[in-house]
Amino acid sequence: MKKSTPLFFVSGYWLIYLFASGRDAYHGIEPLDTWLIYFLNGGFSFFIFYLLLVPGFLAKNKFLPFFGWGIMALIVTAFISTLLTPLSNRDSPAIATTGIQWVQEQKAFLVFMGLALANSIMATIIKGFFIWYHELHEKTELEKKNLQMELSLLKAQLNPHFLFNTLNNIDMLIGTDPQAASSYLQKLSDILRFIVYETSQEKIPLTKELAYIKKYVELQQIRTSNKQYVNLNILGNPGQLMIGPMLFIPFIENAFKHASNKKTNGAITLEILIAEKQIHFTCINLYDKSKSLIEEHSGLGIALIRQRLDLLYKDHYKLEINQRENLYCVTSVIKLDEH
């Protein structure tokens, strides 16, 4: 739907409203200033619902505030319109006495209340329809993008070089340390099982994602005898928190791909902190500028990762990537929900 469509519908409604309500004023049946009060009454009630109450409360399923503020807006609109009416009819003999004036004001209040209610209902219907259509269209587009993202993610879920290298390392361990080889083979099996069965879901338990990261790092570590090459720290209780699968693996994979000599202690630092339903992720790796350029992240590019984060978390995440001297740093904070 074009952005001009809502404006077209609202303009059309008000042209009809002005024509219908202005006929009596045009033919001299009612004063022009009385028609102006009708116009202001309808405009105020319509746009306060259209611009504020429907998108601010009803669209967010806040029904009690919507009805509470809505009723208050209708009463205030009718009351102000009633106060303005005698000003336009001050010379009329119908309000010569206090009693007749009071009756006229009660009738006017009910009329203005009904008019404001009618316009507020129309505003709710029109705005509600556009919000519903926009959400439906957005959902369809998101599902389409999500399918594309899942396809891209599926292609990048496991770097072939990582798989080949891991199998070769396990093969070498079979002769020297069969028990360690069996343990690493089980970890590789768990990783493959995770990829096949878990990544098809939009969100998975954070505990499973953390277990996957630990096993991935452990399998990478068998490629070097230096156990201080990578530091992995996970703090906090994941509890029942859920997260999109494999959000951080592209960055971790990139760190192993471009990190400096494996004999260097602390060449890769991974820190994951879970606190207050948020996960704080930090990945820092050393790299040699003379030997390697930090290219687009292997598997999923940075733009693609941001798209996936937008799909899953919209405004509830932060992602910063900094490159300075011989350090490449990725930090991310994501607000998670519970199962």
pLDDT at 298 over 60: no
If 0-12 CB within 10 Å is exposed, 13-18 middle and 19+ buried, where does residue 328 land? buried
pLDDT at 300 over 80: no
User: Do 318 and 332 form a contact (C-beta atoms < 8 A)?
Assistant: yes
Rounded Cα distance between 17 and 86, Å, is 23
pLDDT at 94 over 60: no
pLDDT in tens, 273-286: 999 899 999 999 98
Whole-structure pTM over 0.95, yes or no? no
User: What's the mean per-residue pLDDT of the chain?
Assistant: 81
If 0-12 CB within 10 Å is exposed, 13-18 middle and 19+ buried, where does residue 70 land? buried
What's the confidence (pLDDT) of residue 135? Answer: 82
If 0-12 CB within 10 Å is exposed, 13-18 middle and 19+ buried, where does residue 225 land? exposed
Q: At what angle do helices 160-176 and 206-221 cross, to 10 degrees?
A: 60
Mean pLDDT of 290-318: 70
The residues of the chain that CATH labels 3.30.565.10 are 157-338
For residue 182, the SS3 value is: helix
Q: What is the percentage of the chain residues whose pLDDT exceeds 90?
A: 28
pLDDT at 99 over 50: yes
What's the confidence (pLDDT) of residue 71? Answer: 94
User: Do 129 and 50 form a contact (C-beta atoms < 8 A)?
Assistant: no
CATH 3.40.50.2000 fits 157-338, yes or no: no
What's the confidence (pLDDT) of residue 153? Answer: 60
More confidently predicted of 101 and 338: 338
Mean pLDDT of 129-139: 83
**Residue for token pair 């504020």:** 52
pLDDT in tens, 55-75: 999 888 899 999 999 999 999
What's the confidence (pLDDT) of residue 296? Answer: 45
pLDDT at 330 over 70: yes
Which stretch, 164-168, 169-173, 190-194, 319-323, has highest mean pLDDT? 319-323
If 0-12 CB within 10 Å is exposed, 13-18 middle and 19+ buried, where does residue 86 land? middle
- Quick one: CA dihedral 164, 168, 174, 178, positive or negative? negative
pLDDT in tens, 146-161: 656 665 665 555 667 7
User: Do 223 and 241 form a contact (C-beta atoms < 8 A)?
Assistant: no
Rounded Cα distance between 233 and 223, Å, is 20
What is the pLDDT confidence band of residue 88, given thresholds at 50, 70 and 90?
very low
Give 170's Cβ-side CA count (13 Å radius). Answer: 19
What's the confidence (pLDDT) of residue 213? Answer: 94
What is the pLDDT confidence band of residue 95, given thresholds at 50, 70 and 90?
very low
What are the DSSP calls for 206-256, one per residue?
HHHHHHHHHHHHHHHHTT-S-TTSEEEEEES--TTEEE-TTSSHHHHHHHH
